[in-house]
Each structure stands twice: as structure tokens, then as C-alpha cells.
Chains A and B, each alone.
Chain A
Amino acid sequence: MDNLVITAASQVNDGDLLTARLGGRFGRMDRLSQLALLAVERLGAAFDAQPRDRVGICLAVRAGSLSTDVEYWKGRDLAGGLSPTLFTYTLPSSAIGEIAIRHRLTGPNLCFVGNGPALLVEAEDLIRRGETDACVCVFCDSITATAAELIQEPASAQAWAVFLERNGEGVILSPENGRDIASLCVNFCARKSANETNHASLA
């Protein structure tokens, strides 16, 4: 059986959004989509290695689109009414569309609401079943202070992304390495940093 390997990983937070420049359309997105899209951008992954219809997208969002729903609903008292643009982001899976459009990825996709333990399990399953050859996996933890108060959870604004492929250089998806995307991102970055240090000392 082929190994499934994380060949790229990234983590971003709301501070990164301040300097992100991903074109004119980026500004109109809700924070969840911005974080998810930026995390995928920072992967720097070579999506060209596979046909674009063989690259899937799996997204997990901790509180769904709750923050955007709250922000949208606040607009009901404003002159002109609710924002049509914001309305398009009142679905947890909107970020998948933004990622697919920007990177022209037309493979299968899945969206989960919650802490995302199933994210990498399902992505692995998609690949092992042959539905796709690689998968962009994103966990987005974006909860505004107002939304956090509603659900009695901490506010946050972070996203993690990994690119999962058959074989390749990186961190192998295994029981030992676990399925927690945040830990795997740390693991990947530590490994990359160690490799760079080794290369530098050999040079």
C-alpha cells in the first residue's frame, strides 16, 4: 500500500491577513475564507504535479460559518440592509469554492463542522478509494469575539493547511504521527527546518 505523505504544510493567523495580497477579490471574502485561502497559498504546493481534477479539497471549520452569520445578521438594522456579498459566505463550505476557483482544483471536496478529527481520515480515505490522487486539507478555526460569546468558546483566527499526496518527500501519515493537522504542521516544519540545517552544514 502506498504511503500517504504530507508534502507541504502551513499555518496562518489573522495577523497574516494584514499583509496578504491575493488580488482584488480577496478583500470581499469573510475572514474564514481569507484564512483558508491564505493557508493554501502559503503551502506553495505544486498542484501541477497532478491533473487538477485529481486534487480534492477537505475543509474542517470549528464553528462553521457562525461568525459570518452573526456579522451578516447585524446588518439587518443598517440602511440598505443585509450585505449580499456577506450572504454568500454564510455557508461553512464557501472557502472550498474560493480555494477551488483560485487554484482551479476540480476534484471531490468535503466540508466538516467541528474540531476536525475526521479531516485527515476522510482525506486519506478519498485517496485510498481512488477518488483522487492528492488532497488539500484545511482546518480553519475562525471565531469572532461576538460568536465566541454565543457558544461560550474562545475566540480565534487561525488556519492550518497540508497537502496530502501518494508518496513524495515529507511527513508520512501514520498512526505514530497521528491525525491532528496542527501537530502535523509543526512536525512538518520541524523536519523541514532540520533538513535545511543539514543542507547548510553540508554546504
Chain B
Amino acid sequence: MQVSPDELKAKIIESLNLQDITPDQIDNDAPLFGAGLELDSIDALELVVMLEKNYGIVIKDIEEGRPAFESVRVLADFITARRPPPS
């Protein structure tokens, strides 16, 4: 099942405790790190935890997950492709 960018943005905001940021303020194609939301390496680790907690996706090597964190849209596609089927 396709993960919607809006659902994902809400989960990102919740897991990173981003104050005063609403999903509609996050551009689906803006970089998550550096510019854009200005997330850092600790946030990247927190997103890895969020993926496991919410979608059952385990990333053992942060380098493996790096391309997936390019933007909300790319991450949503990554989750859709990698999430385990419902049991």
C-alpha cells in the first residue's frame, strides 16, 4: 500500500518533536537534511527508529538508508517498496 506524503510528514513531525511546524509547511520534494527542515545526524537516527516503529522497516546501516532520506516523497516511496506485507 502506498504511503502518503501527508501521513509521513505527520509522523516525522511527531517523532522529531518539531514545534510550530505543520505538514503543509513541509515541501514533499525539499531536502530533509541541510536546508529545508535543517535536520541533523541525530534526527536521521530518530527517523531510522521511526521507520522501524511505524512501518517495520529495519535499517541496519545508516549509509544504506541515506538515499531514502533525500525528501519526503523519496522516503514515502522507499517505505512503500520496503515495508513488510501485513501478516
Flag A68-97 by CB within 8 Å of B: 1 or 0 each. 000000000011110111001000000000
B81 at the interface (CB under 8 A from A): no
Choose from B17, B19, B53 the contact partner of A80 (Cβ within 8 Å): B53
Q: A21-B20, A27-B17 are in contact. Are A85 and B43 (CB under 8 A)?
A: yes
Q: Which residues of chain B come closer than 8 Å to A79, judged between CB atoms? A: 52-53
Q: What's the Cα separation between A75 and B22 when bound, in Å?
A: 26
A47 at the interface (CB under 8 A from B): no
Q: Which residues of chain A come closer than 8 Å to B17, judged between CB atoms? A: 27-28, 85
Chain A contact residues, majority secondary structure = loop
**Are A84 and B53 in contact, CB atoms less than 8 angstroms apart?**
no
A154 at the interface (CB under 8 A from B): no
A130 at the interface (CB under 8 A from B): no
Q: What's the Cα separation between A78 and B46 when bound, in Å?
A: 13
**Are A81 and B20 in contact, CB atoms less than 8 angstroms apart?**
no
Inter-chain contact count A-B, CB under 8 Å?
44
A24 at the interface (CB under 8 A from B): yes
B30 at the interface (CB under 8 A from A): no
Flag A9-38 by CB within 8 Å of B: 1 or 0 each. 000000000000101101110000000000
Chain B contact residues, majority secondary structure = helix
**Are B16 and A80 in contact, CB atoms less than 8 angstroms apart?**
no
Choose from A24, A28, A84 the contact partner of B20 (Cβ within 8 Å): A24
Closest to A88 in B: B42
Q: A84-B42, A84-B45, A84-B46 are in contact. Are A24 and B19 (CB under 8 A)?
A: yes
**Are A81 and B42 in contact, CB atoms less than 8 angstroms apart?**
no
Q: Which of B27-45 contact A (CB under 8 A)?
A: 37-38, 42-43, 45
**Are A26 and B42 in contact, CB atoms less than 8 angstroms apart?**
no
- 13 A-B residue pairs with Cβ-Cβ distance under 8 Å, sorted by A, are A24-B37, A26-B19, A27-B16, A28-B16, A28-B43, A79-B52, A80-B48, A80-B50, A80-B51, A80-B53, A81-B52, A84-B45, A85-B17
Partner-A contacts on B (CB < 8 A):
16-21, 37-38, 42-43, 45-46, 48-53
